[in-house]
Amino acid sequence: MDTIYITTPIYYPNAPPHIGHAYTTIYADVLARYHRLRGRNVFFMTGNDEHGLKLQKAAEEKGVDPKVLVDEMAEVYKKYWRLLDISYDHFIRTTDPKHVEVVKKAVSILYEKGLIYRSRYSGWYCVSCEKFYSEGEYIVKDDKPYCPIHDKPLEWIEEDTYYFKLSVFKDYLIKLLSDSDIVYPRQYAIEILNRVKEEGLRDVSIARPSDRVWWGVEFPFDKNYTVYVWFDALLNYVSGIGYLDDNERFNKYWSNVHHVIGKDILWFHTAIWFSVLKALDIPPPKKLLVHAFLISRGLKIGKSSGNVIAIEDLIERYQDSDGVRYILMRVFNMDKDVEVSTQLFDSIYNSELADTYGNLVRRLGVLAKKKLNGIVYKRSLNDELVKVIDDTREKYLEYMENYEVAQAINTVMDLVREANAYINKVKPWEKKSPDKDLYNLLEALRFATLMLYPIIPKATRKVADSFGFKIEDPEKSSIGSIERYNIIDAPILFRKVRIQ
């Protein structure tokens, strides 16, 4: 399909983004850049989740109006995404008037369909998660219920509210999760299926009394309530592409929507979101791509655990966004949590970016300039090397089409390692006219560069500009299609960091 719509979760802007948010956003950006490179029409959206108790409290603590806070923070997030070279097409904010309109209309539609009713609610709430916890879900410490994620005491809340009839969608959800391959990796679909089968699906409260939570979208038919922040937030995925406003645009992008999320928000994006969509007569998303956590000393990295790794520190350490992007994508894992450390990051950066890819670029550039004045004409191809390039490309495309970015990177790096070994074997510096060797090696480097472009866009562009070729779809480009390389520079792309 040539249109693809890619989303990240929208983040709570009560604090600036950290490495965990960068992990999701960079991954989504790599997919977006990859699909653009393949000539597809991509719409890539990220943004901020600006309503709810968490933001209301953050603003109260700072003594500012929540709108002032979220306006400021939207700029902060955009600044970070610029630093990390995130190529989003649209930055959505849940305070955008168009989004607010959609939330109100969606609630009204569900109300008219008889899927919303008023009743009393009581339960244990975690403000950090913006979520109620039932018995068995929370942990107990000193006889008190605690949030299993944030390790903070839960608040007891009892109030009249409006419910969404989630329970009606139990069979639909079970069938969808069992029969479709929407959720990737599949283990996450099974996790939700088991939970729904065991616990059933309880109706969810989708309103909050405005005297407690006033910072939210006003409930359309009862001014005394605001819409529950998660209900509001999930709708960003449809409001951002013109739902209830521009049908044609909405249908075009929705038909191939890929949501990227962390496993912490899996329940909301399956049980709740799939049901809300069904209730609104919207088909389920094409794919829900779920990843595991970055952890440090066994704990999920996050503000609440106090083990945040700052994005700006990483950018400084690895000299620019490409180093950070590469490292995070190289360790990217959808199934398992990844324990991170400076040592791990340093060793990936030094051994792969500096010593492998960077080294190949520098060696080839210097050799071509020294031996051939930077001009390398097309020569006959070495069958063995062509086969390695071709096989790598095939594997890379397969991995990327299957969302497996880390494996795709490893495959490309194998090619780069082969090319470095090839130089050592043929010793072009000892030859009088090493044109053939250099041409073949440059073709290997060119394909590695095209394939690495979505991950390290700045460095690969620099290589393309210095060596005189263009960044294009690796599938469409043929090996041996460059008539002449004109190498004007042999850049040092990545300077090694000193291992701590």
Residue with Cβ nearer ligand MSP (49 or 443)? 49
Residue 297 CB burial class (10 angstroms; 0-12, 13-18, ≥19): exposed
By CB under 6 A, tell whether 11 contacts ligand MSP: yes
Of 8, 177, 172, residue with least CA distance to 87: 8
Residue with Cβ nearer ligand MSP (11 or 133)? 11
Single residue of 138, 215, 231, 293 touching ligand MSP by CB under 6 A? 293
Single residue of 264, 320, 475, 489 touching ligand MSP by CB under 6 A? 264
Active-site residue, from 54, 129, 287, 291: 129
Q: Name the DSSP class of 448.
A: H
Does the active-site annotation cover 258? no
Of 143, 247, 161, residue with least CA distance to 212: 161
Tokens representing 246 are 């521009």
Stretch that binds ligand MSP, among 202-210, 258-266, 350-358, 469-477 (CB under 6 A): 258-266
The SS3 of residue 244 is coil
Single residue of 26, 84, 86, 234 touching ligand MSP by CB under 6 A? 234
Q: Which residues contact 229 (CB under 8 A, 6 or more apart)?
A: 49, 51, 52, 53, 54, 130, 216
Number of helices and strands (H, E) in the chain? 19, 19
Active-site residue, from 126, 259, 263, 287: 126
Of 96, 348, 369, 83, residue with least CA distance to 241: 96
By CB under 6 A, tell whether 354 contacts ligand MSP: no
Minimal distance, residue 218 CB to ligand MSP, in Å: 20
Minimal distance, residue 23 CB to ligand MSP, in Å: 5
From residue 314, give the alpha-carbon distance in Å to each of 13, 83, 283, 304, 308.
Answer: 20, 11, 40, 20, 12
From residue 291, give the alpha-carbon distance in Å to each of 21, 238, 329, 403.
Answer: 12, 22, 12, 11
Stretch that binds ligand MSP, among 98-106, 231-239, 320-328, 351-359 (CB under 6 A): 231-239
Q: How many CB atoms lie within 10 A of CB 61?
A: 10
From residue 16, give the alpha-carbon distance in Å to each of 78, 342, 382, 452, 468.
Answer: 10, 21, 51, 28, 39
Residue with Cβ nearer ligand MSP (241 or 294)? 294
By CB under 6 A, tell whether 288 contacts ligand MSP: no
β 90-93/41-48 pair status: parallel
Active-site residue, from 57, 78, 150, 458: 150
Residue with Cβ nearer ligand MSP (10 or 276)? 10
- Nearest residue to ligand MSP by CB is 20
Minimal distance, residue 131 CB to ligand MSP, in Å: 10
Does the active-site annotation cover 223? no
By CB under 6 A, tell whether 24 contacts ligand MSP: yes
Tokens representing 377 are 């004409």
Single residue of 69, 183, 189, 301 touching ligand MSP by CB under 6 A? 301
| Separation between Cα atoms, residue 193 and residue 37, nearest integer Å | 36
Stretch that binds ligand MSP, among 82-90, 296-304, 360-368, 411-419 (CB under 6 A): 296-304
By CB under 6 A, tell whether 47 contacts ligand MSP: no
By CB under 6 A, tell whether 86 contacts ligand MSP: no
Whether 48 and 70 have beta carbons less than 8 Å apart is answered as yes
By CB under 6 A, tell whether 428 contacts ligand MSP: no
Does the active-site annotation cover 303? yes
Minimal distance, residue 28 CB to ligand MSP, in Å: 9
Does the active-site annotation cover 165? no
Task: Produce one character per residue of 337-353: b if its CB has 16 or more CB atoms within 10 Å, e if not.
Answer: bbebeeeebbebbbebb
Q: How many CB atoms lie within 10 A of CB 53?
A: 21
Does the active-site annotation cover 90? no
Does the active-site annotation cover 126? yes
Single residue of 84, 265, 416, 487 touching ligand MSP by CB under 6 A? 265
Task: List, edge to edge, every strand of the sheet that includes 299-300.
Answer: 299-300, 294-296, 338-339
Handedness of CA 494, 496, 499, 500 (dihedral sign): negative
By CB under 6 A, tell whether 131 contacts ligand MSP: no
Does the active-site annotation cover 425? no
Does the active-site annotation cover 476? no
By CB under 6 A, tell whether 302 contacts ligand MSP: yes
Residue with Cβ nearer ligand MSP (12 or 439)? 12
Minimal distance, residue 366 CB to ligand MSP, in Å: 40
Minimal distance, residue 299 CB to ligand MSP, in Å: 9
| Separation between Cα atoms, residue 93 and residue 49, nearest integer Å | 6
Single residue of 12, 34, 77, 164 touching ligand MSP by CB under 6 A? 12
Site residues (vs ligand MSP, CB under 6 A): 9-12, 20-21, 23-24, 49, 233-234, 236, 261-262, 264-265, 293-294, 300-302
As annotated, the active-site residues are: 18, 21, 126, 129, 147, 150, 300, 303
